[in-house]
A and B are shown apart, each in its own frame.
Chain A
């Protein structure tokens, strides 16, 4: 049988007390790419929440460009941080975001590019209640990524938020 090349490295599910951040440390350096799949809701009183991603404990040297839509006008913007939109606590009950972060060549000595896509749908007709976004991320560091931290900016992650980190080998 062929060797598995798409493996779960670690997962975390937020417990009843909530969590301000989730951390994956000591990431094995034996894969080619990383994929982080997140289902996120925060306890802030708004439709949306905002969360931040850092590599190796650093939020420096981050570049961001996005394409987004909330059901009305699409938009595009740039920033110098890795922040993504999730679901806030004023949104429909039991709704969590669907967010994927893909990091190719995370152990290389090149700068680290990544893609992030988040989709929040909730069957609401309220303006701005749902959201879809694609992001290009660049971490201008030659260090291998050995830690990924996801931090709630607008509030804490609520119970049942999940985070799955996969490693992908190209051979």
Chain B
């Protein structure tokens, strides 16, 4: 008997135009973990990269000061660490600006553990691999026991995610 599928695409999009944000909603509660693969860039043109953020929630995304993150990162010459507490967003790194020519997107992988449980706060592990300037390894926390069924990804204001950015959400089942 074939084993059950455990790495299932839930939803995917490729942005057709520059877009401020994209939201995955009504996420099924039938998996154990979620993985968001984001291959992105922003429309920022005055530098080399620009931050993107994540908010999560149940129904609506939580815009309160209920997020924190701790990261280890490298800039090509030094290894550094940083943390945020009482934030209104999860900060997982920066996508390339739209200054490196066309065709330039970089990868972030975000792993949401036990996203559907209603007993614990939710932890996410993220990797951001950007050859433009930074490597990020980050742990993020949403201080809520609500199940996650909504995930929003967006560029820091006033910028947009660049057309061509691809966002795919996978469900991982433990059994």
Contact = CB atoms under 8 A, between A and B. Distances in A.
B105 A111 contact: yes
B73 A169 contact: no
Contacts of A1: 2, 4-5
B130 to A, nearest CB: 5
Interface residues of A, number: 41
Given A2-B5, A115-B127, A134-B127, A110 B12 contact: no
B106 A136 contact: yes
B157 interface: no
Interface string A1-30: 111111000000000000000000000000
B166 interface: yes
Nearest to B164: A110
Interface in B120-172: 127, 129-131, 133-135, 137, 164, 166, 168, 170
Interface in A90-120: 102, 104-105, 109-111, 113-115, 117
Chain B at the A interface: SS class: strand
B72 interface: yes
B133 to A, nearest CB: 8
Contact of B76 (A2, A69, A76, A168): A76
A67 interface: yes
Q: Which of B79, B105, B131 has the most CB of A within 10 A?
A: B131
A115 B109 contact: yes
Contact of A115 (B72, B103, B107, B134): B107
B37 interface: yes
A77 B76 contact: yes
Chain B CB within 10 Å — which of A109, A115, A142, A168 has the most? Answer: A115
A121 interface: no
B117 interface: no
B109 A102 contact: yes
A142 B164 CA distance: 14
B118 interface: no
B77 interface: yes
Contacts of B107: 102, 104, 113-115, 136
Contacts of A137: 129, 131
Contacts of A67: 72-74, 79, 135, 137
A76 B166 contact: no
Nearest to A142: B103
A114 to B, nearest CB: 7
A32 B103 CA distance: 17
A134 B76 CA distance: 12
